[in-house]
Amino acid sequence: MCVDCGCEHDARLRTPAAMAAQGGVPRVKTTRRVSVEVGVLAKNDALAAKNRARLASRGVLALNLLSSPGAGKTTLLERTIKDVGAELGITVIEGDQATDNDAQRIRAAGCRAVQINTGTGCHLDAEMVARGLDELDPAAGSTLLIENVGNLVCPALFDLGEQTKVVVASVTDGEDKPLKYPHMFRAAGVIVLNKIDLLPHLTFDVARFLECARRVNATAPVLQLSATRGAGTAGLEAWYDWLRAEASRARAAPSVVNGGDVA
């Protein structure tokens, strides 16, 4: 788990007020590993619950986007912002070990974004997201997209306070990725298979991928699309329809949380 790779650290927002480089912490001794892991996750879960309540009280849809590096999360976000960003009131928290390159891309696409750099860390956690929420202050009824660090292992373990995890896979990956990383794909509320425009040039077997995905997650919808060449295609429209439906459910949440009053 994460305490083995040294990702307990002081991550900071990439904002004008906080651009300092990040450092790691010493590894935890093996004899203490299990108790430390339990403590880290328990603390994170408590903070995630606060994030979730905060977002739900304002009817904000929060999605945690996860993938291996290079699967196309940022490109999918750019395309989504350009097509339905204004409609859904999208804002973005970007997670990377270093640079604010992705946040710059997201801002150029047309929405507000905060970059969180994790230094040696391999995932976002609930405390980092809470800081991002303080900076962004998403409007009531809006949509918050959290792009996690590219990693199919540790991010699956850390609840950020999101309503749903969106796992983005790519046809440039192997068809058996769901079986190799079952915790990630099992946690998904929806699976996006990206870059399908490249299928004529690859040996990727879509049916095999779907079979592997169903073996670890029998209920999550699998949406096949191309974030770069999908203008007007059923794949992107299915993704947008899914987002609209989730946003509608989130906007209805304040009536349950606060008796109808949006904080």
Look at strands 90-96 and 164-170 and give their pairing. Answer: unpaired
How confident is the model at residue 216, as a pLDDT?
A: 98
Reported as a single tens digit per residue, the pLDDT across 84-123 is 999 999 999 999 999 999 999 999 999 999 999 999 999 9
Q: Is the pLDDT of residue 16 over 50?
A: no
CA atoms within 13 A of residue 51's CA, in its CB half-sphere: 29
Structural tokens at position 59: 């009817």
Range of the domain at 182: 30-252
Is residue 11 situated within a structural domain? Answer: no
Rg of the chain over Cα atoms, rounded to whole angstroms, equals 18
Is residue 261 situated within a structural domain? Answer: no
CATH number for the domain that contains residue 143: 3.40.50.300
- How many domains is the chain built from? 1
Is residue 244 situated within a structural domain? Answer: yes
**Which band of pLDDT confidence, cut at 50, 70 and 90, is reported for residue 40?**
confident
Is residue 19 situated within a structural domain? Answer: no
How confident is the model at residue 38, as a pLDDT?
A: 74
Report DSSP letters for 113-181, one per residue: EEEEE-TT-SS--HHHHHHHHHHH-PPTT-EEEEE--S-SSGGGG---S-SEEEEEEETTS-TTHHHHS
Is residue 2 situated within a structural domain? Answer: no
How confident is the model at residue 53, as a pLDDT?
A: 97
Residue 177 sits at the vertex; the CA angle it makes with 95 and 1, to the nearest 5 degrees, is 55
* Inter-residue contact 64 to 162 (CB < 8 Å): yes
Rounded Cα gap, residues 123 and 2, in angstroms: 9
Structural tokens at position 40: 């880290």
Q: Is the pLDDT of residue 259 over 50?
A: no
**Which band of pLDDT confidence, cut at 50, 70 and 90, is reported for residue 66?**
very high
Is residue 53 situated within a structural domain? Answer: yes
Return the residue matching tokens 């969180």: 116
Is residue 216 situated within a structural domain? Answer: yes
| For the chain, percent of residues with pLDDT exceeding 70 | 81
Reported as a single tens digit per residue, the pLDDT across 160-182 is 999 999 999 999 999 999 999 99
* Inter-residue contact 212 to 186 (CB < 8 Å): no
User: pTM for the complete prediction?
Assistant: 0.85
How confident is the model at residue 173, as a pLDDT?
A: 93
Is residue 69 situated within a structural domain? Answer: yes
